[in-house]
A and B are shown apart, each in its own frame.
Chain A
Amino acid sequence: MSDVKKVLLVDDDADLVAVNRAVLENHGFAIATAYSGPKGLVAAKAEAPDLIVLDVMMGTNSEGFDLARALKKDEATKHIPLIMVTSVNTTVPFKFEPDAKYLPVDRFLEKPLAPEALLKEVQGMLS
């Protein structure tokens, strides 16, 4: 069973989480979910996932950023790769790029992201 990789999905849109969960589960991943930044941090520690997929725009406009920074600071979670999926680039007039200090994520993907595109990213990072 240790072969089964666990993915934590953090997004305030429960329907989107449900869709992504269905796709990833169907391809053999175990799924944990959280619907806010603070809950995401708690889940990351409790579930010890192999990968976290998170959204930027949650309760506040920076909740995803805050979570990413908090995860990378925490000894228990800093090694977990992060995929940030967001439409923030279409909402603000400047471009976000992964950045060790301000945006410590491994992949930065534009929403809307087709389910198969997310699946490929997840498979690529966990292979």
Chain B
Amino acid sequence: MTDRPSRILVVDDEVGMREGCRRILAAENYEVETAEDGQAALEKFKAAGGFDVVISDLKMPRMGGMDLIEALHVIDEDALLLVITAYATIDTAVDATKRGAYGYIPKPFTPDELLLHVRNGLEKRALRIEAKALREERERRLLEVAFERSKSTTILHCMTDGVLVVNREGRIVLRNAALSRILPSCAEEPMAAPVVEAVDLPELVSLVMEVVQADAPIIASKELTIGPCTYMVNAAPVLEPSGETLGAVAVLRDITALKKLEIAKSMFVSMVAHELKSPLATIESSLNIVLTGIAGEDPERDRQMMQRALLRATTLRTLVSDLLNLTAIETGNFSLKRQHADLCSIVRETVDAYTDKAAEKNVTLHLECQDASPIDPILADPNAVRSIVTNLVDNAVKYTPEGGQVNVRVDGNGLYARVVVKDSGIGMSAAERDRIFDEFYRVKNDYTAHVPGTGLGLTLVRRLVDMHQGRIDVDSAPGKGSAFAVSLPTVAYATGM
């Protein structure tokens, strides 16, 4: 077991005996200690942390050999004790062995006899130690296996996917907690129940049985609807190393959210298609009647019609670019390049660009920017802010009838800088106001029927304002005009200074 010399304790009240044994054993390179009685031996044994073999006389003062055997086994159950006795009888030998001694030598004995017994004892001890190590190793393995099994079971039950395993006969051999949640009726069935009876879902049963009964290993997949949820079910064979099918394992994954997303996506595509189709149909018809002359020859009317078609085409292009911007924001491909920006100058540029358009419509466009007390700079992407302000001013001019006014004001309170676009236009009801930020929503009435729009402008405005951690407020009433106020954080506020 180790390379160190074996350690032996010789216990005898006769000094000659002790020393004689010591010399014989030391000559064989054993490490030898001696004690004059059982009590002293016990103390030495404790102090030295044990000996490989203890050789002890039976009759000694204070503590004799028989008591020493018992006392030693309390400290170390594997302690080996060899008894030497002057009056060896069968009775004492049997008694000593019963108490745990591994052998005895009658006095007097030859050195060879002593050494033979010691070697036997040491061999026995080595075997005992080895056996103990093996036993411990086995116990450790068993613990590990038990732990591994409980680990796998725990993981299996913590999974969000439902797991169902059936054997070759189609009987349930395993189901996890998620499966019991998905199929509560199955959870009440006993283990080893035939899946055909236990699972009240013919499609799942046939999927699993298809895999179990297949000649060659196959993987079967299917979408199943269970209650309000949709599951993707994948069934695979459970194979032995030899390749033989032992059964099947089905995994049920909840894909309800994905399905909803899919539906939302196709609805969106359908809405986009509709929004593209209507103006295109109108442009097509306009071109058609001018080219075919089906509406007669009237150059002035044709020119007006082409003008309207052009406007609709421009609106379509805006729709497409708004869509691209919205998609970019939603897919995270649109990042703001926030910098110190002057809201006043961005608003002034935009209002200037709309002067002609407003004048054409006989709408007064007025800008109020306090040059005397400059507004704190905002931390914003100038292009995004331009897009926000353009949309608001464009809407105000569009939805204000001839002779009306649009007032644009910029102010601030140190935390936010605010642009307010107020018009004397057609306004809207509370119900309409609640929906104006929805994609493609447009207020529909006799006035708006003549105003082209995409229904995406304010959606985009809201997204851009949100990205800046700003806010947008709407005040409107039918016939009373509308006021849109967008507040964007100042540099000082956004950076916490």
One of A19, A20, A59, A111 near B444 (C-beta < 8 A)? A59
Verify B308–A39 contact, CB threshold 8 A: no
One of B281, B294, B296, B445 near A16 (C-beta < 8 A)? B281
One of B284, B305, B445 near A112 (C-beta < 8 A)? B284
Restricting to B126-147, which residues have a CB under 8 Å from any CB of A? none
Contacts of B282 in A (CB 8 A): 13, 15-16, 19
Given known A18-B308, A19-B305, contact A39–B286 (CB-CB < 8 A): no
One of A26, A39, A90 near B294 (C-beta < 8 A)? A26
One of A19, A20, A35, A116 near B449 (C-beta < 8 A)? A35
Contacts of A59 in B (CB 8 A): 444-445
Closest 6 CB pairs between A and B?
A112-B281, A35-B449, A22-B295, A59-B444, A26-B296, A14-B450
Contacts of B445 in A (CB 8 A): 35-36, 59
Contacts of B452 in A (CB 8 A): 15
Does B361 interact with chain A (Cβ within 8 Å)? no
CB distance from B179 to the nearest CB of A (A): 34
Verify B288–A22 contact, CB threshold 8 A: no
Closest to B296 in A: A26
Residue among A11, A22, A35, A115 with max Cβ neighbours from chain B (10 Å): A22
Beyond A36-B449, A112-B284, 16 extra complex contacts between A and B, CB < 8 Å = A12-B448, A15-B286, A15-B312, A22-B296, A22-B305, A35-B446, A35-B449, A36-B444, A87-B277, A90-B274, A112-B280, A115-B285, A115-B289, A115-B292, A116-B288, A119-B294
Contacts of A26 in B (CB 8 A): 294-296
Verify B312–A22 contact, CB threshold 8 A: no
Restricting to B291-309, which residues have a CB under 8 Å from any CB of A? 292, 294-296, 298, 301, 305, 308-309
Closest to B452 in A: A15
Verify B288–A114 contact, CB threshold 8 A: yes
Closest to B274 in A: A91
Does B383 interact with chain A (Cβ within 8 Å)? no
A interface residues, Cβ below 8 angstroms from B = 11-16, 18-20, 22-23, 25-26, 35-36, 39, 57-59, 87, 90-91, 111-112, 114-116, 119
Does B153 interact with chain A (Cβ within 8 Å)? no
The A/B interface has a contact count, at CB < 8 Å, of: 82
Verify B450–A22 contact, CB threshold 8 A: no
CB distance from A111 to the nearest CB of B (A): 6
Does B321 interact with chain A (Cβ within 8 Å)? no
Residue contacts A-B, CB under 8 angstroms, 26 given: A12-B444, A13-B449, A15-B308, A15-B309, A15-B452, A16-B285, A18-B305, A18-B308, A19-B286, A20-B285, A22-B298, A22-B301, A23-B294, A26-B295, A35-B449, A35-B450, A36-B444, A58-B444, A90-B273, A90-B274, A91-B270, A112-B281, A115-B285, A115-B289, A115-B295, A116-B292
Does B278 interact with chain A (Cβ within 8 Å)? yes
Closest to B281 in A: A112
Closest to B278 in A: A13
If over half of A's interface residues share one DSSP class (helix, strand or loop), that class is named, otherwise mixed; here it is helix
Contacts of A58 in B (CB 8 A): 444
Contacts of B277 in A (CB 8 A): 87, 90, 111-112
Contacts of B298 in A (CB 8 A): 22
For the complex, give the distance between the alpha carbons of A82 and B401 in Å.
33
For the complex, give the distance between the alpha carbons of A115 and B305 in Å.
14
For the complex, give the distance between the alpha carbons of A12 and B450 in Å.
8
Restricting to B164-188, which residues have a CB under 8 Å from any CB of A? none
Contacts of A112 in B (CB 8 A): 277, 280-281, 284-285
Closest to B292 in A: A116
Residue among B298, B301, B445 with max Cβ neighbours from chain A (10 Å): B445
Contacts of B274 in A (CB 8 A): 57, 87, 90-91
Closest to B445 in A: A36
Given known A36-B446, A59-B444, contact A25–B292 (CB-CB < 8 A): no
Contacts of A12 in B (CB 8 A): 444, 448-449
Contacts of B285 in A (CB 8 A): 16, 19-20, 112, 114-115
Contacts of B286 in A (CB 8 A): 15, 19
Restricting to B381-439, which residues have a CB under 8 Å from any CB of A? none
Closest to A60 in B: B444
CB distance from B156 to the nearest CB of A (A): 41
CB distance from B91 to the nearest CB of A (A): 104
Closest to B286 in A: A19
For the complex, give the distance between the alpha carbons of A18 and B307 in Å.
12
For the complex, give the distance between the alpha carbons of A81 and B10 in Å.
128
Contacts of A22 in B (CB 8 A): 289, 295-296, 298, 301, 305
CB distance from A84 to the nearest CB of B (A): 15
For the complex, give the distance between the alpha carbons of A67 and B308 in Å.
28
Verify B284–A23 contact, CB threshold 8 A: no
For the complex, give the distance between the alpha carbons of A115 and B284 in Å.
10
For the complex, give the distance between the alpha carbons of A63 and B437 in Å.
22
